[in-house]
Structure 1
Amino acid sequence: MDFWARLLGGSSRKKQAAPNNPQQRLARFRQRYNQILQTWQKSTNLAHDREALGTIRRALQALTAILNDESRSPAPHMCLQFAAASQIYTAVSKIAATSHDEGMVRDAVAFYNALIDSEEEDFLENDVFAVSLMNFVDRTIGSGSMGVGEDIEADIVELLFGIAAKIRLQPEILPVWFTTTASADSEGRLVNKKTDFAGVTQKEDFPLCYQLIDHVHHEGRIGDFARTGLLYIFESASRSIALEQWIVNSDLPTLMATGLGALYSTMSRKLSILHPQQDMSLILSLSDYSDMQPNLQAESFFGLDFQNHLVTFLSYLIFWQDVLEHCRSVDVRLTLIDHFQALFLQQLLYPSLLESSDADGGSSVAVLTYLRHILDALDHPELVHMMLQYLLALLDYTSMSPKTPRSPAAVKRRQSLMLLNAPDKEDDRLNPSLFNLVDLVLGSTGSSNPQTVIAALKLTTVILSKSHGYALGSLVKVMNLHHKEHHRTVGSLNQELELYLNLAINVAGLEGVDEAYDNYLKDTLSSLESHPCSLKTIALPATSSKSQAYFDSAEGTARDVDPHQLLPEDPLFQSLVELMLRFLTNDVETNLALTEAIITLGTCSQIRLEGWLSVDPADYHFDSADPEPDKFSSDNLRDMYMAGRFPTWSSSATPRLLACLQQLQRQIDALRADIMDWDEHVANRKHIFRFQQDITDEANISTPQSRSVRAPSEPPLGSWAPQIPKHVLDSSATPSRAQSPRGRKETLSGSRNTPTTSPAPSRFGGQTLVGSPSRGLSPMSAPQVGNRQTSLISDVEAGLAGIKNERFFKRRIRFRRAAGSQEVEVMLSKFQPPPREADDATAGAEKKEEDDIREASLLHIITNVVILQNFVLEVVALMQVRASLFNEVRFV
């Protein structure tokens, strides 16, 4: 039978695989290990012996494969036992470090990973293993190391991250990786007599921690693993008194604070936020924006190098927040905050604010932009409190948490830090009470440099939206109100809404108003609900998942905001009104930032609109001749009738913003009377914006994957992007700043249970008034859509080029404002002054000093008119939604 079997199956029988039993596996493992040792000992210069390196690498890869195979096999694991008993990792560490070969380092990392992942023989609890591994890491990626590629460096940092994660989950192995030579006091706390303001550098105590902190500034995998690993280390400090006190006394807080300062210092001192010509959006191209000249000495905000520096700085700032969030040790957390305050805020950030100037053409823009980014990224209550208390010169900014107890070591460390930060002379002390962020913002809003104005308005918007409580009394002058009831009536609200709506229609026509207004209602509702001051106003304590203590804590809001009213003499609002008076000649980006700041100011639920946006109830006048029904079935019906009456008021009682808008309307009326086909030009401009929006929507529908692809001109994440593209990309009617929540199906009337959610419903009947050439297109396949889209874009670009080059739209219009006057006069074509003669130079110079004369092209003015209409509609939406959401008007 064997003969026939051999004949049928072939003359040669298949070799059976060698049995993988523990003894044979151990034999192969020892053979490979001995091969490594012999080759290493025979080589006189391993770094230059390529043959020996190849032999050792193949043997080391075989060892790693055997270990991985054994980890998946049943016990006994004799190879792991042999590796632990023979401490073969020490030889691997020395060979890899002396080879100066990246491939050898990569194989050594894989070998260490195999030992750690086995979770046997307690390698992470072995002192020799810890020393061997950290020596290997220091020789490969430490200071003065051989230098390896980023991918290998990322693998090594990932290995360190894995160890930090093990320490977090198994605190008992911390003493293996962390040792200290500091002595303990009578209470068991560590005392280091060498401690000074910067702490003690003792890398030999915790080399793992120092390796991680050396790599937290990197981007990509290296920085991610380093930052997360360091987070785990700080989190472990709450479970180890020795580690907690070591961090307090070490130089780790100093390294973190100085590292943040170093990244801040890499960003340019002078900055230009002008958009480059090649990436200019539609709304900018249809204006005089291209005529603005950038400062050649300032770095462009949209440059790739600057964006990389900014993203790196913001990433490290967010890492600071994560550390404070994960750190449960009070001493460590407060020590970190002290160093942030002393070494970054007081020694670097505030001096840059103090030294900024609008005269040098960019330093004020840079500081304001950096502050906006910092405050926009900060969410940790203690950091926000400390920064705004200091920069706004509020009281008690030096005492962060007076009620939080600290250990004697932490108190001593803080005293040493503050003593170092104190100047030698009292006159040299930087005092925010002399010049602070309020002074910088108020001075910048009145600057003649549009970039400075834009940066100041953007910073103001961030402070008002995220930290409104800190702005009250400092940036915004207000008067607290003792009464919480509202005295405005539904009749006055309807009257005011009607005035604003009519003004919006008179400014730029009826077309598109209804749809744009509907979108603004949804946007405003979302903004009001998400505002931090609205948390207490609209929350229902009985059904809220948060306790009342949550709303009183720092997590809910850093400072309580009581009902308040804007003072008429508020400098910030006066600056906003001054800018509004020049709305038609302002650059487009300034107007977008201006309107955003005004809307943000009115988004706070605790601010009253009387005096600046609506009429004060004390100024209501009712017609005594108005016939009153003789009989009412109840007093409630009579009160409802009285509250619904339309009041009148004197011109002096007109809200300041409404008066400013009415003056802008008069300027537009003068232009309409002087320029032929004015309304047609405005309507065409609105069609252009809507047509561009339709093309964008069609492209997004036909290519859904494009939504995740960033446009080439769009700044990276974490950077500041002006709100200009919002007008073109997010509005369904005309340009608008806020993004419309397209997915919301509910109407405003169904969102809240109020007596009447919409006191003044739209008088346009809800019909869609906006038409678009692309709305009637039949569904097409993706290639047809692409071809059609390309054709449409070409047509639009050709039309835009014709508009911008047409002589009619290049016509310059002058606006004159007499000195000391609030009225702006449009200098129409028939009143244009003649050229000034040479002998009248002196008189002309005096006149120029007295009158504020500005000019802009007709192309620019029409775009600003479209923006103005959208702003007025947003104001109307704000008043209407506030009335229903916050019950701001009386119905009885």
Structure 2
Amino acid sequence: MEFFSRLIGASKAQSRQTPPNPQQRLARFKRVYDQILYTCQKTKHLDTDPAATETVRTSLARLTTILHDESRSPAPHLCLQFSSSSQLYATISRLAATTYNESLVREAVAVFGALIDSEEEEFLTNPRFAQSLMGFIDRVSGGQTFFVGEDTEGEIVELLFGIAAKIRLQPEILPVWFRARTKPTPQSADAKGDFAGVTQKEDFPLCYQLIDHVHHEGRIGDFSRTGLLYVFESASKSQELEAWIVESDLPTLMATGLGALYSQLSRKLSILHPAAELPIILTLSDYAELQEPLEAESIFSAKLEEHMHTFLSYLTFWQDVLEHCNSLDVRATLIDHFQVLFLQQLLYPSLLESSDVDGGSSVAVLTYLRRILDALDHPELVHMILQYLLAMPGGARSVTPHSPVAAKRRVSLMLLAQAKDDADQLNPSLFSLVDLILSSVQSNNPQTVVAALKLVTVIVSKNHNYAIGSLMRVALSNVKEPQRTHGALNAEIEAYMAVAEDLSSDNLDESYDTHLKDALKILESHTCSAETLILNGTSPAQRRAVPDVICIRPAQAHFLAKDDTFFNHLMSMLRTFFTNNVEANLGLTETLVTLSSCSLLGLEGWLAAEPSKYQYSDSDAAPTTADENLRNLLIARAAPSWSPEHAPILLTTLRYLQSELAMLKAEIPSLDQLIALRKQVFQVHDSISAAAENKTSTPTIMLAQHQTPASSSTAFDKAVDWSPQKPTEVLKRLLAEATSSSTPSRSASPGGSGRGRSMMGSPTPGSSSRVGVGDRRSWQSTGGPGTPSPRERSRSQRPGAAGVGRPKKEGRDALLEDVVKAADAEVLRRRIKFPIKRGGDAEAGAEREDGGGDGKGKEEKNGKGESEPERDASLSHILTNVVILQEFVLEIVAVMQVRASLFGEVKFA
């Protein structure tokens, strides 16, 4: 009996779950709808009767559920037919809009969404439906007396986005939602007030609702921007909509909205890392001595990042609109408004008003420009910004409008941009972005220098053509065949490698292999390299088919001029590398590597020796062979030399730093050990951080056994104990704790960047081995992926990263703190003065921390007879910069070698 009872019960439950037939569903739908009407008639003011309001809200939710169920059920759909014939949507829109209750508004939006999603009864083609919906949304979302919450507003915008998406896919329904009730009227072209256009919300309320929300963060802004993008895309399919957009104030609203978002960004900016969240490479330097400017907002603040994300999202939206809009008149009108209302009247004035004196405003402008250029890829916008800000010759090549209305709008905008007095005219020819960059690179404020170098890196890497002739003085090259020889490449690489090996006496092969792989990626991703690689593999007919992007001039091969101001500033900064701010040095080396990565920029003169200055020995110049081809081959393979005055500028500057470090090593015999220890610190820190993040297993690191010098021959070494023994012992203990629970991987030595180098004796600077294409350091060689370089370490260790800031006094986080403390011994905080003094005056080369100055002092003469002010830094700071410098030299050598193979820049015969 129990079995039959369960079977009968299950049968009854199943019968209750059976969907009702269409007539039953319609009857239930009408009962719910009648309940709403009855409650509203019985209650005069729903907003004062919570019980009645809840009844209506529940009934609206039930209507939505029934509509969704019906859409999933077989035809006929009687409830949808009833909704259309009874104009139920009109009643619901009036009810929800007049009660000023957000819960009712939200349920009403859900009902409209269910009707639209049903895709039946042609609701989207019903003018009455469109009028009811837009009137309802205008009352609850665009009114001044009632505002809905963010969640409800998000659902409203999502509903509007759905309608815009339908219009994009079905252009025939556009006349239902858009109707130009007023025709364009002739207006005076010389009236400056005409630039704003005509506000015509009643013509296209859907469009204006979307434009009102494009500046929002999150899903509201995303849905509104995408929906508006669909509207602009539809303009190419409707001449009436195209003319309406050109005449309306929509372009003005978009441009002023972009300007409003830019104005929300802080006028003064600090790019200093918070003291508690410093990356290890900055912790082990004098970075903590920097002071944040007053009233400057931190670039790491959540508020600024939120504003920046919103601004860049809107800027990307502009780019997407121009990319997808096929209407020439609309594109021309938008570009004109962008140029006048944003670029000329807001962005450039902020550049002009920036100052390095007030602390932060130059940093802010340089940083914002970098983020803008980094986010933009559209050639028209990039061309407009750079051509104007860099004060490059020639007008902006913008789209020419076809219609008279668009032409008149352009004239009005140009008149608006003109000042009444010529003296008040803001003109980049008086002070351009080039002037700001050149002055910022020479600033005494490290933050300004860093911001300028980062901006230059973006311009040179993404838009190199615009740097030619503006930021950099160049000489064009008409030589088609390579002039440098294979032997010269080997000699150049050997010269740079000798500098790298002399900076720190450890093996560099494994780290160099990693740099080779990185260099290949950098070169292949560079914009100029991509074009070169494409053209090198195509026929002449295919080359003509490559589209000509909007640019100030076509790409051409060029060389750096010897009197180039910007490059000379970089070299001046490189000469003071050991005492420079660490983050500024990372920006400097990145800029130089980016310059060397451009396939159109020749290396001769600044990075490589000029072929006309090659010098050969008698045996190399006249090989004893009768075969002419073999003779040419031997000459090309021979390693030339060059006089010191004809050496590459970069190599000369690096050798100057090499000599400075040699003098410091003479005064501090244990300096090599301290440098090796600093590399170990970075390696241990990276290993512990990686293990804490559970990304990789902690590698086993073989620490070098350092011995404390028994005695010192100089008075300086007697006065100061430079022994690194104590920090080394602490690191050994920390490493044992860090690796006790980790799976050991390949052995690695204390490489300069912690890239994991094998511990081998370094070759002497006078080694006769040739380093070139095809030998043991060939770019095809394989090496295991290393840990981050100093520059990568500074980038990756942002606030919140494991081991960077917010240290917890437990586990590996405590070990990270111990590593820093062990590396920051008191002896490493002693001050070292530069230029290094020779001979008996060496004792003055170091001071205790309490006697350290501000880096300024008496001026001395350097090797070239130039005045060079005294500067100082702690020994810990200098050690970190030595590590960065060695990695930079390896990067440069890797780029030279990969370029030679990738672009065929050297000749073999």
Alignment TM class, shorter chain as reference: 0.7 to 0.9
Aligned position for 1:726: none
Between the aligned partners of 1:627 and 1:614, the Cα distance in structure 2 is 20
Counterpart among 600, 617, 626 of residue 606 in structure 1: 600
| Alpha-carbon offset, residue 831 of structure 1 | 4.0
Counterpart among 602, 612, 616 of residue 622 in structure 1: 616
Counterpart check, 1:236 vs 2:251: no
Between the aligned partners of 2:166 and 2:436, the Cα distance in structure 1 is 49
Between the aligned partners of 2:32 and 2:347, the Cα distance in structure 1 is 58
**Greater mean alpha carbon deviation, residues 311-320 or residues 473-482:** 311-320
Residues 354 and 361 in structure 2, CA contact (< 8 A), matched pair in contact too: yes
Residues 485 and 637 in structure 2, CA contact (< 8 A), matched pair in contact too: yes
Residues 286 and 863 in structure 1, CA contact (< 8 A), matched pair in contact too: yes
Aligned position for 2:533: 538
Residues 541 and 548 in structure 1, CA contact (< 8 A), matched pair in contact too: no
SS of residue paired to 2:828: coil
| Cα distance, 1:515–1:832 mapped onto 2, change above 3 Å | closer
Structure 2 matches for 1:547-558, cutoff 5 A?
548-549=543-544, 551-554=546-549
List per-residue Cα deviations over 1:772-803 (Å, max 9, x = no partner).
Answer: 9xxxxxxxxxxxxxxxx975553442242133
| Cα distance, 1:455–1:637 mapped onto 2, change above 3 Å | same
Counterpart check, 1:566 vs 2:581: no
Between the aligned partners of 2:5 and 2:672, the Cα distance in structure 1 is 100
What are structure 2's unaligned runs of at least 5 residues?
A: 698-747, 757-770, 788-808, 849-856
Counterpart check, 1:58 vs 2:58: yes
Which amino acid is the alignment partner of residue 675 of structure 1? Answer: I
| Alpha-carbon offset, residue 118 of structure 1 | 1.1
Counterpart check, 1:656 vs 2:649: yes
Which amino acid is the alignment partner of residue 762 of structure 1? Answer: R
Between the aligned partners of 2:780 and 2:543, the Cα distance in structure 1 is 43
Between the aligned partners of 2:871 and 2:811, the Cα distance in structure 1 is 39
| Alpha-carbon offset, residue 120 of structure 1 | 1.1
Which amino acid is the alignment partner of residue 148 of structure 1? Answer: V
Aligned position for 1:758: 773
Aligned position for 1:127: 127
Counterpart check, 1:356 vs 2:354: yes
Between the aligned partners of 1:359 and 1:8, the Cα distance in structure 2 is 87
| Cα distance, 1:790–1:614 mapped onto 2, change above 3 Å | farther
List per-residue Cα deviations over 1:77-105 (Å, max 9, x = no partner).
Answer: 22211111111111100111122222211
Between the aligned partners of 1:763 and 1:561, the Cα distance in structure 2 is 30
List per-residue Cα deviations over 1:151-196 (Å, max 9, x = no partner).
Answer: 111111100000000000111111111111222799xx9x9x9981
**Greater mean alpha carbon deviation, residues 44-53 or residues 70-79:** 70-79
What are structure 1's unaligned runs of at least 5 residues?
A: 705-730, 741-755, 773-788, 818-823, 836-843
Counterpart among 313, 316, 327 of residue 314 in structure 2: 316
| Cα distance, 1:132–1:405 mapped onto 2, change above 3 Å | closer
Counterpart check, 1:596 vs 2:611: no
Structure 2 matches for 1:131-150, cutoff 5 A?
131-150=131-150
Structure 2 matches for 1:483-882, cutoff 5 A?
483-511=479-507, 513-539=508-534, 548-549=543-544, 551-554=546-549, 559-625=553-619, 630-631=624-625, 634-701=627-694, 734=751, 758-762=773-777, 791=811, 793-804=813-824, 806-816=825-835, 829-832=842-845, 851-882=868-899
**Greater mean alpha carbon deviation, residues 456-465 or residues 303-312:** 303-312
TM (norm. structure 1) is 0.85
Residues 154 and 221 in structure 1, CA contact (< 8 A), matched pair in contact too: yes
TM (norm. structure 2) is 0.83
Aligned position for 2:29: 29
Which amino acid is the alignment partner of residue 654 of structure 1? Answer: A
SS of residue paired to 1:196: helix
Counterpart check, 1:382 vs 2:402: no
List per-residue Cα deviations over 1:526-570 (Å, max 9, x = no partner).
Answer: 111111111232226767999535534218x77422111100100
| Alpha-carbon offset, residue 200 of structure 1 | 0.7
Between the aligned partners of 2:434 and 2:130, the Cα distance in structure 1 is 53
| Cα distance, 1:676–1:76 mapped onto 2, change above 3 Å | same
| Cα distance, 1:249–1:32 mapped onto 2, change above 3 Å | same
Structure 2 matches for 1:213-228, cutoff 5 A?
213-228=211-226
| Cα distance, 1:231–1:470 mapped onto 2, change above 3 Å | same
Residues 461 and 594 in structure 2, CA contact (< 8 A), matched pair in contact too: yes
Counterpart among 444, 463, 468 of residue 448 in structure 1: 444
Aligned position for 2:707: none
Residues 342 and 417 in structure 1, CA contact (< 8 A), matched pair in contact too: yes
Between the aligned partners of 2:6 and 2:154, the Cα distance in structure 1 is 58
Residues 261 and 348 in structure 1, CA contact (< 8 A), matched pair in contact too: yes
| Cα distance, 1:369–1:735 mapped onto 2, change above 3 Å | farther
| Alpha-carbon offset, residue 329 of structure 1 | 0.9
Residues 81 and 121 in structure 2, CA contact (< 8 A), matched pair in contact too: yes
Residues 815 and 825 in structure 1, CA contact (< 8 A), matched pair in contact too: no
| Alpha-carbon offset, residue 134 of structure 1 | 0.8
| Alpha-carbon offset, residue 426 of structure 1 | 1.4
What is the number of equivalent residue pairs in this alignment? 806
Residues 61 and 107 in structure 1, CA contact (< 8 A), matched pair in contact too: yes
| Alpha-carbon offset, residue 40 of structure 1 | 0.7
| Alpha-carbon offset, residue 47 of structure 1 | 0.8
Structure 2 matches for 1:263-412, cutoff 5 A?
263-401=261-399, 404-412=400-408
List per-residue Cα deviations over 1:395-436 (Å, max 9, x = no partner).
Answer: 2234524xx452111111111111112111111111111110
Aligned position for 1:481: 477
Between the aligned partners of 2:132 and 2:540, the Cα distance in structure 1 is 51
Residues 693 and 732 in structure 1, CA contact (< 8 A), matched pair in contact too: no
Between the aligned partners of 2:192 and 2:620, the Cα distance in structure 1 is 87
Which amino acid is the alignment partner of residue 153 of structure 1? Answer: E
Between the aligned partners of 1:497 and 1:826, the Cα distance in structure 2 is 33
Which amino acid is the alignment partner of residue 498 of structure 1? Answer: E
List per-residue Cα deviations over 1:270-294 (Å, max 9, x = no partner).
Answer: 1111111111000000100011111
Between the aligned partners of 2:406 and 2:753, the Cα distance in structure 1 is 51
List per-residue Cα deviations over 1:241-279 (Å, max 9, x = no partner).
Answer: 111111111111111111111111111111111111111
Between the aligned partners of 1:570 and 1:422, the Cα distance in structure 2 is 34
Between the aligned partners of 1:452 and 1:250, the Cα distance in structure 2 is 42
SS of residue paired to 1:479: strand
Identity %: 54
Residues 517 and 779 in structure 2, CA contact (< 8 A), matched pair in contact too: no
Q: CA RMSD in A?
A: 3.4
Aligned position for 1:470: 466
List per-residue Cα deviations over 1:42-93 (Å, max 9, x = no partner).
Answer: 2111111112112212222222222222222222222211111111111100
Which amino acid is the alignment partner of residue 593 of structure 1? Answer: G
Between the aligned partners of 1:765 and 1:90, the Cα distance in structure 2 is 72
| Alpha-carbon offset, residue 701 of structure 1 | 4.7
Between the aligned partners of 2:841 and 2:251, the Cα distance in structure 1 is 65
SS of residue paired to 2:194: coil
Between the aligned partners of 2:192 and 2:91, the Cα distance in structure 1 is 36
Residues 609 and 647 in structure 2, CA contact (< 8 A), matched pair in contact too: yes
| Cα distance, 1:392–1:19 mapped onto 2, change above 3 Å | closer
| Alpha-carbon offset, residue 671 of structure 1 | 0.8
SS of residue paired to 1:209: helix
Aligned position for 1:118: 118
Aligned position for 1:891: 908
SS of residue paired to 2:873: strand
| Alpha-carbon offset, residue 593 of structure 1 | 0.1
| Alpha-carbon offset, residue 22 of structure 1 | 2.4
Residues 465 and 552 in structure 2, CA contact (< 8 A), matched pair in contact too: yes
Residues 670 and 826 in structure 1, CA contact (< 8 A), matched pair in contact too: no
Residues 674 and 828 in structure 1, CA contact (< 8 A), matched pair in contact too: no
Between the aligned partners of 1:302 and 1:363, the Cα distance in structure 2 is 16
Between the aligned partners of 1:361 and 1:825, the Cα distance in structure 2 is 38
Which amino acid is the alignment partner of residue 854 of structure 1? Answer: R
